Amino acid sequence: MEFTELNEQELIRRDSLKAMRDLGVDPYPAESYEINTTAKEIKDKFQAQSNDFQDISIAGRIMTRRVMGAASFLELQDETGRIQVYVKRDSICPGDDKSLYNTVFKKLLDIGDIIGIKGHAFITQAGELSVYASQLKVLSKSLRVLPIVKEKEGQKYDAFTDPEQRYRMRYVDLIVNPSVKDVFVKRNQIVNTMRQYFNQHGYLEVETPILQPIPGGASARPFITHHNALDMPLYLRIANELYLKRLIVGGFQGVYEFAKDFRNEGMDRTHNPEFTVLEIYVAYKDYFWMMEFVEQMIEKIALNLHKKTKLQLADKEIEFKAPYRRLPMLDAIKEYAGVDVTGMDESRLLEVCKKLNVQVDKTMGVGKLIDAIFGEYCEHHLIQPTFITDYPVETSPLTKRHRSNPALTERFELFVNGKELANAYSELNDPIDQLERFKEQLKLKDKGDDEAMFIDMDFVRALEYGMPPTSGMGIGIDRLTMMLTNSPSIQDVLFFPQMRPEKPLNKEEATEE
């Protein structure tokens, strides 16, 4: 981002910065500033009759100020909220030198500046809880004007509401829209609840490589980079599955990882090229066990977050209380598309897709054709939590074949409000079958499918040493947070979502900012 020149307000603030320094006030002091309370703690616990909060040290950002001669009010915002501060000239400048108040406070401080206040809590004559300042210290001078909301005749002005600007400048968004913090606090609660749930079951949290020589564990287009010392290509991981299953081979009974994954694909309201996923693998379990494990976990998260399981998501009410509906994929297609595709080969499926007006291309095999029909006709019906089970072999190269139908696999995806939330398998542990599935993926790649999987021969070798029956599950943390906080876009639950490069501001735009 480039600016050709500073606007008028920015120039004024830089002049104030220089004036502070000329007066001997350091606008960016190096020493620590000790804090012993917060705005919320004072508001929650202050009782006038108990004579508490008489030695307060608090710090935060000036959000409003009213200068009235020798006494003034300001509103201070810290991480927990806002509180009013009463500043009296003779209290913060008890000697003859009144320049801290008359010059620094009245003329050189601005909305957005960060200050420290020492003093005591009291109730003003107007009945408002406030902090009476006995000391004021400048901690950081703000050189840009905050887009503070103003109200006039019931109308709000200058609100920081433009989505692109909010996502691009999340630091400003968090300052002027404090409710945004709640989403990220809840995101942290979601992760902590999951971690506690897994730990209580005795499973081990681990870390696996982000830079991988082979991008395995999912069907997706990877980001490619180059390692200079080894003179070899490396890939940002698209999944951590194959490394976690290596640990199951090594003897761990249950392992999990909260991982950053990367997929070089499109962006929309539910997809970001960098995203967070939880993957967990448990030995001696199957996908039926995992369905119960997942629905109990999500019910627990909803209760911890909201003290209830029935939540509002946009205009729909979603019930997250277990158990959830189980519906095989082919039955879903029969129910919602009105056609039974069981046993159909590629040519017949192409005819069905044409009849149903489902967009397909020549790179798509049996599995992807079935998945295209399902995506077009079924997904949007799956509002309440639903496990879609028993996917075609062709779309599930890491999944154990179904125990009663070898054309299908023991896989489920959890759908909520028409969106996939979790993906899980009875993991394929037959090394010969696994190698053949990888080879089939190569055929799809040769047909032009750039999302088909690579062959990972080291993973095949690991399976040849023997992996116990295992169930694995991956769940998108970003999408789960969206659903449990009623957030309409993935950008709302990421502190810093991926954005297009910002256009340089021209002179006129910079002046208007």
> Do 283 and 395 sit in the same domain of this protein?
yes
The token duo for 187 is 């995101």
Q: What is the mean pLDDT of the chain?
A: 92
Top mean-pLDDT range of 25-39, 157-171, 490-504:
25-39
Q: What percent of the chain has pLDDT over 90?
A: 81
Q: What percent of the chain has pLDDT over 70?
A: 95
> Do 92 and 204 sit in the same domain of this protein?
no
pLDDT score of 510 more than 60: no
**Confidence tier at 505 by pLDDT (50, 70, 90):** low
Over residues 103-132, the mean pLDDT reads: 96
Residue type for 130, please?
A: S
Q: Is 420 inside a domain boundary? A: yes
pLDDT score of 3 more than 70: no
DSSP state string for 60-82: EEEEEEEEETTEEEEEEEETTEE
Q: Provide φ and ψ at 87, rounded to 5°.
A: -115, 115
pLDDT at 152: 65
pLDDT score of 512 more than 50: no
> Do 294 and 210 sit in the same domain of this protein?
yes
Q: Is 173 inside a domain boundary? A: no
Q: Is 356 inside a domain boundary? A: no
> Do 204 and 105 sit in the same domain of this protein?
no
pLDDT at 361: 87
* Cα radius of gyration (the chain): 29
Parallel, antiparallel or unpaired: strands 470-476 and 274-283: antiparallel
Q: Is 369 inside a domain boundary? A: no
Q: How many domains does the chain have?
A: 2
Domain holding 310, by residue range, is: 180-324+384-493
pLDDT at 502: 80
> Do 388 and 287 sit in the same domain of this protein?
yes
pLDDT score of 157 more than 80: no
Q: Is 227 inside a domain boundary? A: yes
Dihedral class, residue 206 (left if φ above 0, else alpha if ψ from -120 to 50, else beta): beta
Residue pLDDT, tens place only, 415-456? 999 999 999 999 999 999 999 988 888 887 777 776 677 889
pLDDT score of 140 more than 50: yes
pLDDT at 259: 97
> Where residue 194 sits, what CATH number does that domain have?
3.30.930.10
pLDDT at 403: 94
- Do 300 and 306 touch, CB atoms closer than 8 A? no
Residue pLDDT, tens place only, 282-305? 999 999 999 999 999 999 999 999
Neighbour-count burial of 70, counting CB atoms closer than 10 A to its CB (0-12 exposed, 13-18 middle, 19+ buried): middle
pLDDT score of 210 more than 90: yes
pLDDT at 511: 43
**Confidence tier at 504 by pLDDT (50, 70, 90):** low
pLDDT score of 507 more than 50: no
- Do 74 and 65 touch, CB atoms closer than 8 A? yes
> Do 484 and 398 sit in the same domain of this protein?
yes
Q: Is 362 inside a domain boundary? A: no
> Do 196 and 130 sit in the same domain of this protein?
no
pLDDT at 220: 86
> Do 130 and 83 sit in the same domain of this protein?
yes
> Do 189 and 76 sit in the same domain of this protein?
no
Over residues 405-412, the mean pLDDT reads: 95
Over residues 61-80, the mean pLDDT reads: 95
Q: Is 157 inside a domain boundary? A: no
pLDDT score of 87 more than 90: yes
Residue pLDDT, tens place only, 248-286? 999 999 999 999 999 999 888 889 999 999 999 999 999
Residue pLDDT, tens place only, 447-460? 777 667 788 999 99
7-44: buried (b, 16+ CB within 10 Å) or exposed (e) per residue?
Answer: beebeebeebbeebeeeebebeeeeeeeeebbbebbee
pLDDT at 2: 59
Q: Is 158 inside a domain boundary? A: no
C-alpha to C-alpha distance for 504 and 243, rounded to whole angstroms: 43
Residue 224: Cβ within 10 Å count? 11
User: Three-state secondary structure along 188-213?
Assistant: HHHHHHHHHHHHHCCCEECCCCCEEC
pTM above 0.75, yes or no: yes
pLDDT at 440: 85
> Where residue 54 sits, what CATH number does that domain have?
2.40.50.140
> Do 139 and 227 sit in the same domain of this protein?
no
pLDDT at 155: 63
> Do 127 and 188 sit in the same domain of this protein?
no
pLDDT at 160: 86
pLDDT at 362: 80
Residue pLDDT, tens place only, 352-384? 999 999 999 888 889 999 999 999 999 999 999
> Do 104 and 232 sit in the same domain of this protein?
no
The token duo for 432 is 């010969």
Dihedral class, residue 343 (left if φ above 0, else alpha if ψ from -120 to 50, else beta): left
C-alpha to C-alpha distance for 179 and 134, rounded to whole angstroms: 31
pLDDT score of 150 more than 80: no
